[in-house]
Amino acid sequence: MTGKKRTLIIVSIVLALVVALAGCQGSTSTTKGSGSTTSSGEPLKMLVRMFYHGEIDKTMAQGGIDFNDNKFANFHRENSGVDVTFEPALADGASEAQKKAMILASNDTPDLMDMNRTEYYKYASQSVLTDVESYLAQMPDYSTLVNSYGENLIEYVRFNGKVYAFPSVLEEGDLNRTHAGGIGVRKDVMDDLSIAVPKSITDFYTMWKTVKEKTDLIPLTSAGDGFSAIKAAYRVALNYKEVGDKLEYIWVQPEFKDYLTFMNKLYNEELLDKEFITTTGTVLTEKFMGDKAFSLNTGWATLCVSLRDIGTKIDGAEMAFMPQPTGPNGEKALLFHNWPVQRLWVIPEAAKNKEAAVKFFNYMSTKESKMVQDYGILNDDYTLDAAGKPVQTLEQQMNVTWKICYEVMATPDSFK
């Protein structure tokens, strides 16, 4: 389900032997137990700064679920052998970016933290992240898991010859995507207005025009400049274009001017939300739940998480993704092979508990931990059939949607 980034310390010979021996015990027991200690005999402790997910406010806060004291946080704490404290990121992306900058400029950092791709390369170039490649030999479960999907993920995050992050596998098995999302609409409104499923970007314009004329809904909104599906239709989803034997910025190409002209038309005709540039993800959700917006350009997780319960707020309301629009002349949208990394987990250079972070991250790659991340607690949130395969009812699944807030190691199996 629905994105991330990160001076080596000298570990004593005794500790190295302990970790290496622990790593040889198999995927379900590599990090099992709560009595692990450092080389000085102190219990392993660490702080991990997680990503933000809408379930934190949608389900956990409303249900009174403590972020650090619940069945998932406690399970991972007890079974990893690490006394881990989970810290959620801020809901607002801009505020979180500023918070990360402040954290990494200090000597008081988490021991493990999530980063997006842009943040990763930015901070890797500033020498504030630990080169983690030497730790991989101590992480058999992690190495086995990421290598089992055919992509050499480590090479994707190598920067200036060094590896500053532990990447996780992209959840979506089909990597041939145009961009990071699509156009989701109020399907019930489409049906009421007898609007056919649009194909070209011109069809989408006509649809938005109809919604503007016949309803009080904002035809198209977004949290910032997130119009990836429209950019793909105009073949400007990438920042560069190959022109002859050179790469040129897409912003100086004639097709980008066409894209801007189209967006300006939407704005001037009030088909595009006038507040889109200052709208946050939270406000975006409120607009849909408050029956004020018709469509948005967003990632797949928004419809199945943030807007999942729109039908309980608005009688008969239903969200659905539309096909990727083709260009104004029916030209196929620009397709490209997506980056196969879901999240980037980094150990800040100033982290005080690097050995704990390595141990915990390897544990989160074990089969035992992955089952909890993907399904929940055995015999509580799911069962196993005679063949050992998970069995989970829709009700059980919906009761633990917030487990995604602890999804450290995503894989395509997590997406099923």
| 372-411 pLDDT per residue, tens | 999 999 999 999 999 999 999 888 988 999 999 999 998 8
Q: Mean pLDDT of all residues in the chain?
A: 86
Q: Is 33 left (phi over 0), alpha (psi -120 to 50) or beta?
A: left
Give tens-digit pLDDT for 177-198: 444 568 999 999 999 999 999 9
Q: How confident is the model at residue 169 (pLDDT cuts 50, 70, 90)?
A: confident
57-85: average pLDDT: 96
Is residue 293 pLDDT above 50, yes or no? Answer: yes
Distance CA 356, CA 12 (A): 14
- The one-letter code for the residue type at 94 is A
Give tens-digit pLDDT for 228-262: 899 999 999 878 788 888 889 889 999 999 999 99
- Distance set, CA 146 to CA 340, 369, 405, 412 (Å): 11, 15, 20, 11
Residue in the block written with tokens 């975006």 = 284
Distance CA 385, CA 81 (A): 29
Give tens-digit pLDDT for 7-33: 333 333 333 433 343 443 333 333 344
Is residue 6 pLDDT above 60, yes or no? Answer: no
Alpha helices in 36-195 (DSSP H): 55, 71-80, 93-104, 117-124, 140-147, 153-156, 187-192
Is residue 153 pLDDT above 90, yes or no? Answer: no
pLDDT at 337: 59
Q: What are phi and psi of 401, to 5 degrees?
A: -60, -25
Q: How confident is the model at residue 308 (pLDDT cuts 50, 70, 90)?
A: confident
Give tens-digit pLDDT for 298-307: 887 788 778 8
Q: How confident is the model at residue 41 (pLDDT cuts 50, 70, 90)?
A: low
- Distance set, CA 241 to CA 177, 195, 244, 248, 371 (Å): 17, 35, 10, 5, 42
What the chain holds in terms of domains, given with CATH numbers, is: 13-174+340-415 (3.40.190.10), 177-336 (3.40.190.10)
pLDDT at 173: 52
Residue in the block written with tokens 């379930």 = 55
